[in-house]
Structure 1
Amino acid sequence: MFSRVPRRICDDVNMWLAVAAGLVVFAALAGWPLRPAARLDCAGNTVLQVAGGRDVSIDHQQRAIIDSWDGAGPAAEYAELVELPPVADQQHSQMLAWARSRGCPAVDVYILDTQWIPEFARGGYIEPISPNDVDMGDVLPNIRKAVEYDGRTWAVPFNADAALLYYRTDLDIEKPRTWSDLWQQAQRLLMDDDNGLSSGYAPQFGEYEGMTVNALELIWAAGGDLIDRHGQVTVDREPVRRLLETLLGQIGDESPAGQEDGGRPVIGRSALDHFEADSIKAFADGRVAFMRSWPYAYARLANNEWMGSSDKSLKFAVAELPGSEDGRPGRSVLGGQSLAIDARSPHKRAALALIRHLVSEESQQRLFSCGGFAPVLRRVYLSPEQCPSTDSDRKVVRRLPDEQVGTLLRAVETARPRPAWPYYTEVSRVLSRGLRDCLSGLRGCDSPAGVAAFTDELAGELTVAMRGR
């Protein structure tokens, strides 16, 4: 006969079962798997698991290209994409948890944001790539350099990313050459109560990696930096201070056009909570005149009914980011994703075969022409193809038009990679939180003296974060 279990223990067990069930339900509702399907026999599993962020391309072209792989024989019959949440910080946390887990690896191939490569390489979580494994001769040089760390190559570039400036062509706008020019044009447009604007410019200033990227681009244009020539954290205090004072002067509460209290700001206070999707929606709704975003946003906007005109032209165009007053051109942060193999994967040869398929010219053409992602191969930019279409989707816009592919190529070629720090994610977290708090009025940045004090504090906080503390 079984002995009676004390009620307290039963209550504790029931509590933890409820917690576990709640986590499973949360993961299911969020579309965020706690891990892919169980892999009881590491070598016996014949499906390559590929983990990456949510596929935001039209008709899910990343998934389609992965699905089109023919496999590598009985050991790896096919590959499947495990999609993670759309926010980069959440993707990083989940991939790192899988990489650190014990036993059979949860995935075989990671689609890593390129700035995470040093952390995964230093931790021994991914396998180095030999020059003989994959031909990267036509990959753009700055993209190829971004997958290197400590003298070795750790991943293969899958798609690139570089920020573009989106601006309305149905308003009285000239392509801004400098950020000062953009602020001035926005202020002029906001004096017109009939154009439907609630603010002028839509950045991504939410507390996440997007704030870090936006900030770096603005700091560079202001003549400053956060990294010195030795790769250490630095804060060029004077340019950063001037930039923060400028931004604080542009941010304010939005009010609908025509409202008597007026005072529509260049940057709405809501931008302090904006992610990419929020900015795209504000631009697509006609509430802002300018927006900074990635290339994939072009197709999203071009297929928006409001963004079209009666003559079938679009109400917006793209340009490279504005530059500085002294003539320095604007530069984007180099974005993009790269393919890395889990160091414990029993299917490394099959994973390399899959990667070669994903970075082939055919796949790169499809990723760009059908999905709108910036390719990593130069020859795709020089000879871009059109996506094969049927009568039902012939009117769907999928990528930048041929005449603007050169703009994208220049933006990608001149883009600067993020610092190759193993603790970059923590540095980014500290930077995005600090800047958002300053711009929100939570760090005493309400006077020049307060801004100066904040920049001094930020320099110390970033130095500590770079050491992984």
Structure 2
Amino acid sequence: MTRTAKSVSIAATVVTALSLTSCGGSGGDQAAADAKQTLTVWAMGEEATRLQTLAKEFTGEHPNITVKVTPVGWDVVHQKLVSGAAAGTLPDMAQMGSTMMGEFIELDTLEPVDDKAFKKDDFFPATWDGNVVDGKAYGVPWYADARALYYRTDLAEKAGFDKAPATWKDLRDLAAAYKNKGGAEWGLDLQPGSTGAWQGWVPFLYATGGELLGEDGKPALDSPETVRALAEFGHYFDAGLAKKNFVPGHDVLKDFAADRVPMFQSGPWMVQNIAEQQPQLDGKWKVAPLPADKSSTSWVGGSSLVTFKDSEHKAAAQEFTTFLTTAKTQAKWYEISKTLPANKAAWDEPALKAGGESLAVFRKSLDTAKEIPPMATWNEFSVQIEDALEKVARGADPAATAKKLQQSTEGLVG
């Protein structure tokens, strides 16, 4: 995609601050990789705690480099990064969520990835492409997540189905059968609007062959594919198969276990959550690829490792990034965190090969997943999608809604 012409208002403020503080410069004198030094890293929540284990292993191999990992909550990391960029107090490296990349690329705070040290072909395409603007990558994929369909097999059998839905028609039929024959209150969990609702709809869009942005970098949300995706999303609410009201903090696993909502989309972490929180469901559920229209296509999330332009320890940062993204370390990270490796070779490691049927589904999803384009205005862009989804869930015409969605997003990207 092309670099966006407009940034969010907070980004504009930071750009001004950067020009005043000379942030985003060369980073001063660079320490050699073998020099004695401290590498500062920001990581998020529990992942920061787990990363300490790998940092100690890295330090054992590189005794001259002390790795200082600082935990930052996901709820405050954006503001801390923006403030750090403005004040010139960013760390050497950070974990950065996939939908945050565009903003910080736009702010010119990230060091471009050395394409001699890191190869695109080593990673799942969408994990790499989500970090690329104007042909340059600004982050190295660390871990990934994709979406799949969780469904209750016992209730499906009760409703007369003995296999997972493979197509949109199959999904409609199973959702209706769950409600009409299987005793469920609803057929499918879909968030009708509010923050995060885009996550459940984008797979519908990608399944049609649609895109969020066209090849020209401009919104492509008035396309026939968008209309079809909105209509399919709206069907579940029109048919009474999904709840029209959304309660923040809703725990889908409780509804899943209580037979109220027997299907939902989610990521790989739910496999362990179901096993730990709802053990009585053992043998009564499975994970399947997202049902297909033209294709079965998830969006890819996760985190990448970025180095900031002001760092004076870029060589050490590259060493640590290399260590964290090797196949063996990625497999070890999976064992520690249960997050999916972004390095394709890691899936040949024993820990991943022994992962079972559910893990194989997510591996397949990563092969076909597509990135969320790295745009500086993603937060505003996604809000417009969520507003459109809320309207469609309440009965608005998909074609008219798509037209308005296109108009409301055109001013957000160049």
Decide: shared fold, TM above 0.5.
yes
Aligned to 2:165: 176
Q: Of the candidates 293, 296, 310, which is equivalent to residue 269 of structure 2?
A: 296
User: CA, structure 1 residues 112+280, in 2 after alignment: closer, same or farther (shift >3 Å)?
Assistant: farther
**Counterpart in the other structure of 1:390:** none
Q: 1:336 aligns with which of 302, 326, 329?
A: 302
1:435 aligns with 2:389: yes
Among candidates 93, 99, 102, match of residue 109 of structure 1: 93
Per-residue CA distance 1:294-331 (angstroms, 9 max, x = gap): 1121111122344444xxxx32111111001xxx2210
Gapped runs of 5+ residues in structure 1? 1-42, 253-262, 387-398
Counterpart AA for 1:298: V
Instruction: Give how far 1:124 is off.
Output: 1.2
Q: How does 1:386-405 map to 2 (within 5 A)?
A: 401-405=355-359
- For residues 315 and 103 of structure 2, what CA distance do their matches in structure 1 show? 23
Q: CA deviation at 1:191?
A: 2.0
- Conserved? CA contact 1:204–1:273, under 8 Å: no
Paired with 1:119 and 1:459, the residues of 2 have a C-alpha distance of: 21
Is residue 2:269 matched to residue 1:283? no
TM-score by length of 1: 0.71
Identity %: 22
Q: Report matched runs for 1:285-434 at 5 Å.
A: 285-309=258-282, 314-324=283-293, 328-385=294-351, 401-434=355-388
- Matched to 1:102, the amino acid is A
Unaligned runs of 5+ in 2: 1-30
- Could you say which structure has the larger radius of gyration? 1
SS in 2 for 1:201: coil
Which secondary structure state, in structure 2, belongs to the residue aligned with residue 80 of structure 1? strand
Give how far 1:237 is off: 4.6
What does residue range 26-425 of structure 1 map to in structure 2 within 5 Å?
Answer: 48-55=39-46, 61-66=50-55, 68-70=57-59, 72-73=62-63, 76-85=65-74, 91-99=77-85, 101-105=86-90, 107-134=91-118, 138-171=122-155, 172=157, 173=161, 174-192=163-181, 195=183, 197-208=184-195, 210-251=196-237, 265-270=240-245, 272-273=246-247, 278-309=251-282, 314-324=283-293, 328-385=294-351, 401-425=355-379
Task: Tell me the amino acid that sits aligned with residue 179 of structure 2.
Answer: L
Greater RCO (Cα-Cα under 8 Å, separation 6 or more): 2
The Cα offsets for residues 93-129 of structure 1, whole Å up to 9 and x where unpaired, read as: 4433332x21432x22221123432331231111112
Partner SS, residue 264 of structure 2: strand
* Corresponding residue for residue 407 of structure 2: 460
Work out the CA distance in 1 between the residues paired with 2:412 and 2:137.
25
Structure 2 vs 1, CA of residues 138 and 234 (structure 1 numbering), >3 Å: closer, same or farther? closer
Q: How large is the RMSD of aligned CA atoms in angstroms?
A: 3.2
Greater per-residue helix proportion: 2
Q: Helix, strand or coil for the counterpart of 1:407?
A: helix
Contact 2:127 2:301 in 1 (8 A): no
- Kindly tell me the number of residue pairs found equivalent between the two proteins: 375
For residues 236 and 223 of structure 1, the distance between their equivalents in structure 2, rounded to whole angstroms, comes to 13
Counterparts of 2:357 and 2:70, CA distance in 1? 33
Contact 2:40 2:92 in 1 (8 A): yes
